[in-house]
């Protein structure tokens, strides 16, 4: 341990820790901008300076490791003046139209300006014409260089967490900017639309494309029936965005708020998460049969999940030769959209052209996914508008709804019932766990023992998790699986996906089934969820998801009565002609 004092208070921390981490232990807050717990240290903004006693030096506390006997002051006149000047200098090149900024009220630079009472400007405005580029081409993301403080959190996120590298630093000195290859629009480069750059950006330089006004217009139109679906992870993120603690579960209040906002049908993506288990599970068993019984050399294994659109875009760019390995299942969002304008429309007696289908997602890539040309199998655009968890919170605030005071309400029916297996889709490992709960019962004809419902090895934030299950006691149709050791892997975050895919490609690992989610922690850590985020927040959200699963009366997808009903009334059976037409797709190089 290393002993030091901060503001005269003694503290001991492990060797290698920084001054910032030591101060955190003493509950002394040092302001930061370029620093983020998820990322490697850059030390480029210097707003975290502190004074080292003895040499009177100002040092960047996020980058400076502690040393024995060190004496640090975090709140001297010199420190405060230096931080204030840094903030003022940042503001000289920053778009100051804060009242018109998308991140107004959620901006770290704005917070620091308020904290340091920056009320006048001592420095010359370096960019008086504010003639910056704003990239609004993507259906998912927007990039406004006039709000960038060049902290490079986005660049490190895109490279370190996501291994994508769509954005990088270009030019030097005052010309320096965050750019793409040949300064192209985000929509024209390898960006996966995951939105991790947004949740790591301290200002409004990177934001989601908002469809709030479009949705208000649809709600106000008396000729449209507006159907809304809510993703598994929204119910554990919305409360946090509205000022409740991380991991607060607000499912019933969210349903109630959606009705008050004016949505005509309030339905649940968990329903189509359950449907995905039926379709994807059957697809996996079909592939296994082709491989093990028919010895078909063309069958693509491992089969990979396809519900995370950031991951789908990543595999298209980086591993196109593995596209046949993707499950042909559309994501639950898109399955829902296709059914909203067919099955649901027919059931409620509304013409599909009069339905506007809205989804609330923790994810920005879902906006891109809804706009893919493949996603029109209902004969219309399957999902019209995608809002993030944050955008839903905006609508709730605009409508003057006192969220905390709402009472709990239930989703409408049909397509409003989800099982516990459906909700755990929102956490990394959840699709695998949900699939295993159902597959076990189908293959063995026996009920999963209650104590085995929770499959702990597939849970948690670890980069790559593995599970190997020996199949025993199969029933008739599935005897070809007797004694087979089913090998599965789960990963979250595209850097981890990259490592896993390279190992598969190099023949170092073999699996039958892999679950890959683009964002750290899975959808609960998606690019449309509240900021700020780190592993502590992700863990709280994860615990909330598993707690919700525990309390649901139905915890297996195949036991969801609305799933049983849709196969009876409409789809007939998994992988039927109708389900192929509406629920499946394929991606080509
Ligand atoms: Fe997800 Fe999914 S779990 S991808 O993270 O399969 O976004 O929550 O809605 O579609 O169900 C997201 C979450 C979500 C889909 C489901």
Contact criterion met (CB below 8 Å) for 574 and 279: yes
pTM for this one?
0.96
pLDDT reported for residue 333: 98
How distant is the alpha carbon of residue 261 from its chain centre? 24
What is the pLDDT averaged over residues 339-366?
98
Pairing of strands 49-52, 141-144: unpaired
Euclidean distance between CA atoms 227 and 389, whole angstroms = 17
Q: Residue 525 pLDDT more than 90?
A: yes
Euclidean distance between CA atoms 14 and 32, whole angstroms = 22
Residues 63 and 187 in one domain: no
Query: Does residue 296 belong to any structural domain of this protein?
Result: yes
With a 6 Å cutoff on the Cβ, whether 308 touches ligand 1 is: yes
Contact criterion met (CB below 8 Å) for 422 and 273: yes
pLDDT tens for each residue of 439-475 = 999 999 999 888 888 888 899 999 999 999 999 999 9
Residues 463 and 314 in one domain: yes
| Residue 320: C-alpha distances to residues 313, 493, 587 (Å) | 10, 18, 9
Going from the Cα of 433 to the center of ligand 1, the distance in angstroms, rounded, reads 15
Atom of ligand 1 nearest to the CA of 269: 11
Pairing of strands 464-470, 303-304: unpaired
Residues 574 and 498 in one domain: yes
| Percent of the chain at pLDDT exceeding 90 | 92
pLDDT tens for each residue of 250-273 = 999 999 999 999 999 999 999 999
Residues 62 and 156 in one domain: no
Q: Residue 574 pLDDT more than 90?
A: yes
With a 6 Å cutoff on the Cβ, whether 423 touches ligand 1 is: no
pLDDT tens for each residue of 233-244 = 999 999 999 999
Number of helices (H), then strands (E), in the chain: 20, 18
With a 6 Å cutoff on the Cβ, whether 490 touches ligand 1 is: no
Query: Does residue 544 belong to any structural domain of this protein?
Result: no
Residues 461 and 558 in one domain: yes
Query: Does residue 236 belong to any structural domain of this protein?
Result: no
Residue nearest to atom 12 of ligand 1 (CA): 523
Record the tokens describing residue 153, joined without a space.
Answer: 């959190």
Ligand 1 pocket test, candidate residues 232, 359, 417, most atoms within 8 A of CB:
232
With a 6 Å cutoff on the Cβ, whether 435 touches ligand 1 is: no
Residues 465 and 558 in one domain: yes
Atom of ligand 1 nearest to the CA of 528: 7
What is the pLDDT averaged over residues 245-249?
97
Atom of ligand 1 nearest to the CA of 331: 10
CA dihedral sign, ordered 153, 159, 165, 168: positive
Euclidean distance between CA atoms 179 and 165, whole angstroms = 11
Euclidean distance between CA atoms 366 and 386, whole angstroms = 7
Query: Does residue 138 belong to any structural domain of this protein?
Result: yes
Domain interval for residue 199: 120-208
Going from the Cα of 365 to the center of ligand 1, the distance in angstroms, rounded, reads 11
Active site residues: 280, 283, 307, 327, 366, 369, 374, 523
Euclidean distance between CA atoms 337 and 332, whole angstroms = 9
Strand runs (DSSP E) across 39-90, as ranges? Answer: 49-52, 57-60, 71-73
With a 6 Å cutoff on the Cβ, whether 520 touches ligand 1 is: no
With a 6 Å cutoff on the Cβ, whether 232 touches ligand 1 is: yes
Residues 41 and 124 in one domain: no
Residue nearest to atom 15 of ligand 1 (CA): 332
How high is the mean pLDDT of the chain?
Answer: 96
Residue nearest to atom 11 of ligand 1 (CA): 273
Instruction: List the CATH number of the domain containing 30.
Output: 3.10.20.740
pLDDT reported for residue 131: 66
pLDDT tens for each residue of 390-402 = 999 999 999 999 9
């Amino acid at each position: 341990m290393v002993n030091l004092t901060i503001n005269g208070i003694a503290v001991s921390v492990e060797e290698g820790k920084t001054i910032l981490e030591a101060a955190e232990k003493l509950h002394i807050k040092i302001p930061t901008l370029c620093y983020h717990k998820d990322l490697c240290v850059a030390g480029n903004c210097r707003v975290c300076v502190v004074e080292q006693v003895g040499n009177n030096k100002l040092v960047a506390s996020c980058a400076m490791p502690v040393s024995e006997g060190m004496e640090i002051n975090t709140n001297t006149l010199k420190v405060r003046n230096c931080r204030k000047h840094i903030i003022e200098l940042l503001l000289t090149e920053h778009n100051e139209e804060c009242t018109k900024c998308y991140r107004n009220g959620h901006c770290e630079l704005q917070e620091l300006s308020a904290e340091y009472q920056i009320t006048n400007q001592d420095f010359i405005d370096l960019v008086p014409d504010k003639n910056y580029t704003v990239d609004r081409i993507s259906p998912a993301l927007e990039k406004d260089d006039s709000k960038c403080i060049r902290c490079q959190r986005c660049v490190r996120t895109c490279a370190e967490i996501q291994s994508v590298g769509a954005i990088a630093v270009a030019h030097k000195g005052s010309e320096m900017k965050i750019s793409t290859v040949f300064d192209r629009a985000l929509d024209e480069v390898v960006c996966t639309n995951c939105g991790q750059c947004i949740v790591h950006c301290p200002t409004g330089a990177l934001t989601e494309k908002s469809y709030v006004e479009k949705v208000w217009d649809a709600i106000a139109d008396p000729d449209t029936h507006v159907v809304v679906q809510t993703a598994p992870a929204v119910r554990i993120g919305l409360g946090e965005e509205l000022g409740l603690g991380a991991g607060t579960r607000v499912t019933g209040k969210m349903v109630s708020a959606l009705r008050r906002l004016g949505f005509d049908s309030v339905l649940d993506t968990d329903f189509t998460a359950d449907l995905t288990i039926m379709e994807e599970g059957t697809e996996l068993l079909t592939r296994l049969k082709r491989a093990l019984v028919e010895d078909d050399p063309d069958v693509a294994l491992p089969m990979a999940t396809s519900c995370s659109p950031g991951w789908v875009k990543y595999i298209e760019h980086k591993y196109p030769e593995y596209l046949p390995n993707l499950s042909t299942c559309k994501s639950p969002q898109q399955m829902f959209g296709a059914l909203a304008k067919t099955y649901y429309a027919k059931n409620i007696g509304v013409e599909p052209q009069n339905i506007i289908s809205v989804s609330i997602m923790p994810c920005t890539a879902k906006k891109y996914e809804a706009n893919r040309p493949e996603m029109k199998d209902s004969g219309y655009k399957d999902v019209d508008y995608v809002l993030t968890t944050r955008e839903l919170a905006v609508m709730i605030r605009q409508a003057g709804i006192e969220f905390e005071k709402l009472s709990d309400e239930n989703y409408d029916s049909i397509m409003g019932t989800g099982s516990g297996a459906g909700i755990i889709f929102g956490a990394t490992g959840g699709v695998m766990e949900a699939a295993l709960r159902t597959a076990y019962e189908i293959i063995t004809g026996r009920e999963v023992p209650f104590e085995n419902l929770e499959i702990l090895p597939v849970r948690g934030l670890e980069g790559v998790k593995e599970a190997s299950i020996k199949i025993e006691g199969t029933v008739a149709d599935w005897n070809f699986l007797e004694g087979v050791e089913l090998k599965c892997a789960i990963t979250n975050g595209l850097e981890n996906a990259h490592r896993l895919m390279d190992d598969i490609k190099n023949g170092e690992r073999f699996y039958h089934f892999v679950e890959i989610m683009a964002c750290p922690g899975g959808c609960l850590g998606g690019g449309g969820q509240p900021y700020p985020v780190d592993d502590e927040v992700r863990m709280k959200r994860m615990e909330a998801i598993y707690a919700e699963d525990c309390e649901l009366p139905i915890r297996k997808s195949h036991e969801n009565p609305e799933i049983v009903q849709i196969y009876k009334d409409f789809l007939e059976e998994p992988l039927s002609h109708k389900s192929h037409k509406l629920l499946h797709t394929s991606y080509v190089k």
